[in-house]
Structure 1
Amino acid sequence: MKLKIISKTVWILSIVSLFTDVASEMLYPIMPIYLKNIGFSVVLIGILEGFAEAIAGLSKGYFGKLSDLKGKRVPFVQFGYLLSAISKPIMGILPIPIWVFISRTLDRFGKGLRTGARDALLSDEANPETKGTVFGFHRAMDTFGAVLGPTFALVYLQFYPENYSFLFLLATVPGLFAFFASGLLKEKTRPIPKKEEKVSILAYFAYWKDAPGIYKRLIVGLLIFGIANSSDLFLLLLLKTKGAQDSFVIGIYIFYNLVYALFSLPIGLMADRFGLVRTLIFGLFLFCSVYAGMAYADTSFEFYLLFFLYGLFAAATEGIAKALISNIVPESDTATAIGTFAGLSSISALLASYLGGLIWFYSGAKFMFLFSAVICLGVIVYFARYSDAFDLKES
Structure 2
Amino acid sequence: MPELNPAQTSAASIQPAIPATVWMLGIVSLLMDVSSEMINALLPLYLAGGIGASALGIGFIEGLSVAVATATKFLSGVLSDIGGRAKPLAVLGYGLGALSRLIFPWAVSLDQIVLAKAMDRIGKGIRGAPRDAIVAAVSPPEIRGASFGLRKSLDTLGGFIGPLVAIGAMILLAGDIPSVFWLAAIPAGLCMVVLVLFVKEPAGRHPIPRGSFRLAEAFRLNRAVWAVIGLASIIMLARFSEAFVLLKALEAGFMPAWVPLSLVIMHAAYGLTAFPVGRLSDRIGTYGLLLWSLGFLIAAHLMLAFAATVWAYVLGTVLWGLHMGFSQGLLGAMIAKATPDVLKGSAFGTFNLVTGAVVLAGNTLAGWLWHSAGSATPFLVGAGLSIVAMIGIASGPCRSSRG
Aligned to 2:370: 360
Equivalent position of 1:23 in the other structure: 35
5 Å-filtered alignment, 1:192-341, equals 192-196=207-211, 203=215, 207-208=218-219, 210-341=220-351
Aligned with residue 119 of structure 2, among 84, 106, 119: 106
| Matches for 1:180-191 after TM superposition, within 5 Å | 180-183=193-196, 184-187=198-201, 188-191=203-206
The question of 1:45 aligning with 2:58 is answered: yes
Question: Distance between the aligned counterparts of 1:75 and 1:287, measured in 2?
Answer: 36
Distance 1:197 1:160 in 2: 57
Is the CA contact 2:175–2:257 (under 8 Å) kept in the aligned structure 1?
no
Amino acid at match of 2:211: E
C-alpha distance in structure 2 between counterparts of 1:193 and 1:81, whole Å: 25
Q: CA deviation at 1:4?
A: 4.5
Contact kept, 8 Å, 2:286 with 2:401, in 1: the verdict is no
Contact 1:284 1:313 in 2 (8 A): yes
Change (3 A) 1:302 1:242: closer
For these two proteins, the number of residue pairs brought into alignment is 388
1:186 shift after superposition:
2.1
The TM-score with structure 2 as length reference comes to: 0.92
Look up the match of 2:3. none
Q: Deviations over 1:263-297 (max 9, x none)?
A: 21111112112212321221122111111221112
- 1:28-81 CA distances to partner (integer Å, 9 max, x unpaired)? 111110111212111111110001011112211110011011100110111111
Query: After superposition, what is the alpha-carbon deviation per residue over 1:101-136, rounded to whole angstroms, capped at 9, x for unaligned?
Result: 010000011111111010011111223321211011
Alpha-carbon distance, 1:196 to partner: 2.8
Partners of 2:21 and 2:194 in 1: how far apart?
Answer: 11
1:51-62 alignment, distance < 5 Å: 51-62=64-75
Name the CA shift for 1:2/1:261 in 2 (closer, same or farther; >3 Å): farther
- For residues 233-286 of structure 1, give each alpha carbon's deviation from its aligned partner in whole angstroms, at most 9, with x where no partner exists: 001101113442124321121111112112211111121122123212211221
Counterparts of 2:261 and 2:84, CA distance in 1:
43
SS at structure 2 position matched to 1:297: coil
Alignment of 1:93 with 2:103, yes or no, is no
Q: Residue 394 in 1 paired to residue 402 in 2?
A: yes
Matched residue SS, 1:26: helix
Provide the rounded CA distance (Å) in 2 between the counterparts of 1:230 and 1:241: 18
Counterpart for residue 84 of structure 1:
97
| 2:253–2:310 contact (8 Å) kept in structure 1 | no
Q: Equivalents in 2 of 1:235, 1:306: separation in Å?
A: 9
Task: Give the TM-score normalised by the residue count of structure 1.
Answer: 0.93
Q: CA RMSD in A?
A: 1.9
CA-to-aligned-CA distance 1:113-170 (integer Å, 9 cap, x gap): 1110100111112233212110111111111111111111111111222201111111
The 1:195–1:277 alpha-carbon spacing in structure 2 relative to 1, beyond 3 Å, is farther
Contact 2:252 2:309 in 1 (8 A): no
1:142 maps to amino acid:
D
SS at match of 1:72: coil
Residue segments in structure 1 that go unaligned for 5+ positions in a row: none
In 1, Cα distance between the equivalents of 2:191 and 2:324?
A: 23
Query: What SS class does the counterpart of residue 24 from structure 1 fall into?
Result: helix
Tell me how far apart the structure 1 counterparts of residues 180 and 87 of structure 2 sit (CA, whole Å): 30
Alignment correspondent of 2:171: 158
CA 1:180–1:351: 2 relative to 1, 3 Å: same
**Of residues 82, 87, 90 in structure 2, which corresponds to 1:74?**
87
Larger radius of gyration: 2
Question: How far apart are the structure 2 equivalents of 1:141 and 1:393?
Answer: 25
- Aligned partners of 2:250 and 2:240: how far apart in 1? 17
Contact 1:328 1:393 in 2 (8 A): no
Q: Does the Cα contact within 8 Å between 1:62 and 1:339 map onto a contact in 2?
A: yes
1:342-353 to 2 correspondences below 5 Å: 342-353=352-363
Q: Return the alpha-carbon distance in structure 1 between the equivalents of residues 253 and 316 of structure 2.
A: 17
What amino acid is the match of 2:326? A
Deviation at 1:394? 3.1
Corresponding position of 1:130: 143
Look up the SS of the partner of 1:84 in the other structure: helix
State how far apart, in whole Å, the 2-side matches of 1:225 and 1:314 are. 10
Q: 1:160 to 1:3 in 2, by over 3 A?
A: farther
Query: In the alignment, what sits opposite 1:32?
Result: 44
Q: Give the distance between the partners of 2:17 and 2:319, measured in 1 at CA.
A: 28
* Partners of 2:133 and 2:33 in 1: CA distance: 20
Relative distance call for 1:336 and 1:142 in structure 2 (3 A) is same
CA–CA distance in 2 between the matches of 1:194 and 1:89? Answer: 40
